[in-house]
Amino acid sequence: MAQILCIEEERVVARDNTIAFARLRLQLPQSPIRHHFVKATVKIRHYPDGTLAVFHGPRRIARYMPDGAAIQETCRTGQAA
């Protein structure tokens, strides 16, 4: 249900491996998918509870609290949320 109600926007990753969203600068973490995401197009999903998720294709690569603090993943399976 959260996927239906979220707002999704595209962004291009900056040279410092960050993306800008709603006055926040979100640092992308290291990923087993790619060495970095510089110049990659990613999608940001903004959920009703204020949390954010960043996707590269079908894979979620990061999650954030409404204030931009990273949410640490306990199990990195690459599944979409």
DSSP character string of 18-41: EEEETTEEEEPPP-SS-S--TT-E
- What's the confidence (pLDDT) of residue 31? 86
Query: Strands 52-56, 24-27: parallel, antiparallel or unpaired by DSSP?
Result: unpaired
DSSP conformation class of 57: T
- What's the confidence (pLDDT) of residue 75? 55
pTM of the model: 0.84
- What's the confidence (pLDDT) of residue 17? 96
Q: Which two tokens stand for residue 20?
A: 């800008």
Quick count: other Cβ atoms within 10 Å of Cβ 71? 12
pLDDT along the chain (81 residues), means of 10: 84 97 94 91 96 95 96 63 49
- What's the confidence (pLDDT) of residue 74? 64
- What's the confidence (pLDDT) of residue 8? 96
DSSP conformation class of 70: B
Q: List Cα–Cα distances, 53 to 7, 24, 31, 59, in angstroms.
A: 11, 13, 14, 10
- What's the confidence (pLDDT) of residue 32? 86
